[in-house]
Chains A and B, each alone.
Chain A
Amino acid sequence: MKLLELDFKHSIKDEVAYKSLQVLKLPNKKIEAFKKVDLSDLYTTSYEFNLSDNISLVDFEKYGEFINDDFYTIFIFNSSIQTNDQDNQYIHISQTNKEKNDSKNALFHLSESFIELENKIEISESLDKPLCIVNISNSNNTFSPSSLHISIKNASTVDLLEVFVSSNQGECFLNINRKITLDKNVILNYSKIEKSSKSDSYIFNYDSNLMKNSTLNIVSVNANAKKSLNLWDFTLDNEGINLNINAIVNIRNEMICANIANIIHNGSNIKSEINVKHILHDKSHGVFEVKSTINNKASNSKVFQSSKTTLLSDDARIDAQPQLLILTDKLEAKHSATCGAINEEELYYLISRGIPLEKAQTMLIESIEIDIIEKIENKIVRDFVIKYKGKNNV
């Protein structure tokens, strides 16, 4: 079945989401934010639909690297949530009726239309160790929609790592919704890393409901998907919200990775920062399309946007468009987009000490990545990501 004609009526579970999808229509190049990202191949490929009516059990032994004393671990396999005996009274897993969602992101509604009940992980107190959510995909030429609502109440700080592990065959399109709800004063440190198959396309649709004085720190480390999009859709209504998104994009061959953000400041004293570093090899393509709107009631806002790109090949390409729409007088705002090759002086310093050129280049690339990964607050999560990423390198 192909997505383009929305010809999957018999699979619809959520009529409301399906109707929203029909109104909004799947994004194409005519839409400003998607001008540089061609999704038409995703819409016209004939997929099997993975709608997870059958629950397959996770082979926990196979994923032993995620099961240890350092984390609480939850597995999501074909949209079914499973745990191996680790238990915590403050982590509640359920399937619930979905809340109404006014997202303008048609891809968000695409996944929602296939899902009747929503997977929800609710954390009701601070955890003594990080939570690791391992999303496993093992399909063949499949479109896999999924949705997870992460809700944090009463806690002061929670560290959460989501890992996306794929052993897919053929062309697979994973359209992944993540809704994040944070109670007042909650801090969520959320990190995400993928280990994809070469022909995977991932779209991550983020939506949120952040209460007063809550903080959402996101660190995203992309890996080796053919096509990877992070759609950050945040409407910040409540006073004192702090939103920080840091991402590293290190891609090769003809991969494309896009960070497309629509951040709206409606409340006062809100800070949002999005900072993406791109390392682009071969014929890869990075996209940074970030629009921050600061409405007239959003006084004392702080808004920062930054795209830094290191091009390692003449054929690599970056499209960076940071945009600020400012409708208030009192704020601090900054945006930048820079692009260049590896710093020659830094490279020379290393090779003049006898380090071979290729190793020196690798060290400098790793130093760019580490700069983002070091934004992960929790040491256990940070060390895991560094180690896991080392295994991921092409």
Chain B
Amino acid sequence: MLDINNLHVQINDKEILKGIDLNIKPGEIHVLMGINGSGKSTLVKTISAHYDCVVNDGSIEYNNDDLLRLNATQRANEGIFMSFQNPIEIPGINNMYFLKTALNAKRKHLKEEELNAASFLKLVKSKTNQFNIDDAVLKRNLNEGFSGGEKKRNELLQLLVLEPDLLLLDEIDSGLDIDAIQTVASGINSLLDGKRSVLMITHYERMLELIKPDFVHILEDGKIIKTGDYSLALKLGETGFKGLGE
């Protein structure tokens, strides 16, 4: 599904990613770990065509197509979804209107019929009921006045509605209590059908227990220095990043 080769990315004239190679097949769950500033967020942002990230070298193929020639909108409609570490508040844009617009943009891209308001509401309510998300958030403006946890649940709701193929989760568990982490993990797991893939950034063992990764990659100074399976994450929990080198 995703094939990254020798990726070099800079932000504000500083090189952050210094030759990343990463391959994600359909249905795989990958986790990125590393100290702050190692380049984890930059990698997922680059895949999502964030405006800060400038690709200097290397390639990204997505479903055997050159991803770098697609803009952010096209990548999203091709099935890439990045959840934000700190989702921005946008007063004046109703959450439901935003979600419906996004879903219908995707459906139009896929040449499917757009949903009217009633059908859309029915769809969303089925998701909020299934995962115990307070549907009052739909009436509010996009992330406006939301607590940290509410913002993350709103990211989850978008995931559930848009049903992307490649989920890029940038610390989706940060700021969540134990129950909320459970809700988020359940929601993500419900999407994992063996074809959807995940690239997740997290620091928390609890999240890894709930969404068991197939691969764990350690980033250091813009490069992947070690790759393993779930046991690598467990070892990290014991030794820390410094202990890994021994």
Contact = CB atoms under 8 A, between A and B. Distances in A.
A354 B91 contact: no
Contacts of A366: 92-93
A351 interface: yes
A349 B73 contact: no
Contacts of B71: 351, 357
A364 B97 CA distance: 12
Contacts of A367: 90-93, 141
B158 A353 contact: yes
Contacts of B101: 355, 359, 363
Given A355-B101, A355-B105, A348 B72 contact: yes
A354 B51 contact: no
Nearest to A353: B102
A354 B73 contact: yes
Interface size grouping (class) on chain B: 20 to 34
Contacts of A353: 76, 81, 98, 102, 105, 158, 162
A366 B94 CA distance: 11
A364 B93 contact: yes
A368 interface: yes
B166 to A, nearest CB: 13
Given A345-B88, A363-B93, A364-B93, A355 B102 contact: yes
A352 interface: yes
Main SS at interface, chain A: helix
Contacts of B197: none
B90 A354 contact: no
Given A344-B51, A348-B72, A354 B109 contact: yes
A29 B51 CA distance: 43
A347 to B, nearest CB: 9
A174 interface: no
Contact of A364 (B72, B76, B90): B90
Contacts of A359: 101, 105
A145 B207 CA distance: 70
A4 B48 CA distance: 60
Contact of B105 (A345, A356, A370, A374): A356
A346 B92 CA distance: 12
B109 A349 contact: no
Given A349-B90, A368-B92, A354 B98 contact: no
A254 interface: no
B206 interface: no
Nearest to B105: A354
A310 to B, nearest CB: 12
A368 B98 CA distance: 15
A350 interface: yes
26 contacts: A344-B51, A345-B88, A349-B84, A350-B90, A350-B93, A351-B72, A352-B48, A352-B49, A352-B50, A352-B72, A352-B82, A353-B98, A353-B158, A354-B76, A355-B73, A355-B105, A356-B73, A357-B71, A364-B93, A366-B92, A366-B93, A367-B90, A367-B93, A367-B141, A371-B91, A371-B92
Interface of B: 48-51, 71-73, 76-77, 81-82, 84, 87-88, 90-93, 98, 101-102, 105-106, 109, 141, 158, 162
Interface of A: 344-346, 348-357, 359, 363-364, 366-371, 374
